[in-house]
Structure 1
Amino acid sequence: MDSSEFLHFLATRVSVREYDGDCISEEDAEYLLTAASKAPSAGNLEAWDVVIVTDPGQLEMLSDAAGNQHQIRDSGCVFCVCANYVRSMSRYGDRGIMFAVEDATIAATYMMLAAHARRLHTCWIGAFDDNEVKGILDLPAHIRPVTLLCVGKGEAPARGPERMAPSGHTHYDIWQAPIVP
């Protein structure tokens, strides 16, 4: 894949909210997990864990915990990607909390891209009640859910959203406010 193909690959990945409800195959799930295991990680501690949820009752409860976002229930499969604080705090102390969230975020991003490579669709859900999700999935105290990643076959929107130009995010050497005409 050359650099222009890579940018096209990234541009064609969009969040999908309409799914057929079928669970992904075990082979696809393993592929996504393998991709996540290749993600960079602070101190190579891989301070992330995943709970794969396919049970319709569990998906319904997760949907409720996320403000009734139907794509959670309809996707048939959700990867709850979690930060494992203890794993990174063992080396980095309090700063390890941030590193664990970063590790989980990068791992989830790799899963999204791996799903796209497998012609699967995803939707990153970050708006949910942490305590409800922890209770539904019986997560230990040192584990924080970072995203509910819906994965499955779905109906992609006709086109992706408009994006801000890179220059709108970029500052050189120091933070400079944008020039307003």
Structure 2
Amino acid sequence: MDLDIAINTRASCRNFIDKKVPIRLLHMLLESGSKAPSAGNLQDFRFIIVTDEDKKKEIAEASLKQLWMADAPILIVVCSDLKNVIRFYEDRAEYYALQDVSAAAENILLKATDLGLASNWISVFDENVVRRNLRLPENVKPYIIIPIGYTKEKPRHRKRHSVETFISFNTFGNRKYDLNLFPIIKYKREEQKQDVFTLIKDKLKKRKSRH
């Protein structure tokens, strides 16, 4: 699947069917997760695969009683082994660890979409319950739970803000950019500074009107 398609079609699923995920596909998910960037290349992410029905139910209960999670054939609990992270980054270790596991989790979600699998991202849960359930050592912290499986439900894509909402140039809130210094966009205008997004929209409208 094209990366853009995976990014644009990924959706959070809460309705899983009773169908096992082949071990080959699971391995591909974890391989993708393991390729994520990490602070200092410490590769601190750890993936706990949960398939035991009782364990899944207990984890679902501990995740604000989101019981639908237990219907997924697999829960991937994305953790960080903080041992080396603490050694290198001391009191900022958990801050960097969160970034590391988030990058790994997003890789897994996109690969799941690529493979035709349904998924979700759960980050609200009782850490103590999950620790006890998975027998995690003190240095391993759980951050994210990813239910993985199949669904017959059509993905619901929530409305997204336009990309312009999120972008500033050089200082927060500044939407003006010197087009002569912006190599991606090659517009010839008399004004040195223009609202780059307006220019893009104008060009797209002109292109559509020609067809």
In structure 1, what is the Cα distance between the partners aligned to 2:40 and 2:13? 33
Deviation at 1:158, TM superposition (A): 4.7
Shift of 1:17: 0.7
Partners of 1:138 and 1:118 lie apart in 2 by: 30
5+ residue gaps in structure 1? none
Structure 1 residue 150 and structure 2 residue 147: aligned? yes
Deviation digits for residues 148-172 of structure 1, max 9, x if unmatched? 1000011343530001122222222
Correspondence for 1:112: 109
Offset from partner CA, 1:106-131 (integer Å, 9 cap, x none): 11111111111111110111121111
Between 106-115 and 90-99, the greater mean CA deviation after superposition: 90-99
Q: Distance in 1 between matches of 2:155 and 2:100?
A: 32
Cα-Cα RMSD: 1.9
Partner of 2:6: 9
Identity across the alignment (%): 27
Counterpart-to-counterpart distance in 1, 2:49 and 2:10: 21
Q: Which has the larger radius of gyration?
A: 2
The structure, 1 or 2, with the larger RCO (C-alpha pairs under 8 Å, 6+ apart) is: 1
Asked if structure 2 preserves the Cα contact closer than 8 Å seen for 1:53 and 1:77, the reply is yes
1:60 match: 57
Distance in 2 between the 1:135 and 1:21 partners? 27
Query: Contact 2:34 / 2:45 at 8 angstroms: preserved in 1?
Result: no
Q: Tell me how far 1:173 sits from its aligned partner.
A: 1.9
1:23-54: per-residue Cα shift (whole Å, max 9, x none)?
Answer: 31211111111111211111111111111000
Q: Distance in 1 between matches of 2:128 and 2:63?
A: 11
TM-score (ref. length: structure 1) = 0.88
Distance 1:158 1:96, change over 3 A: closer
1:141 to 2:138 alignment: yes
State the TM-score, normalized to the length of structure 2.
Answer: 0.77
Equivalents in 1 of 2:96, 2:103: separation in Å?
10
Structure 1: distance between partners of 2:169 and 2:83: 36
Structure 1 CA distance for aligned equivalents of residues 34 and 74 of structure 2: 19
Gaps of 5+ in 2: 176-211
CA contact (8 A) 1:83 1:146 kept: yes
Structure 1: which 4+ aligned runs deviate by more than 6 Å? none
Work out the number of aligned pairs and report it: 175
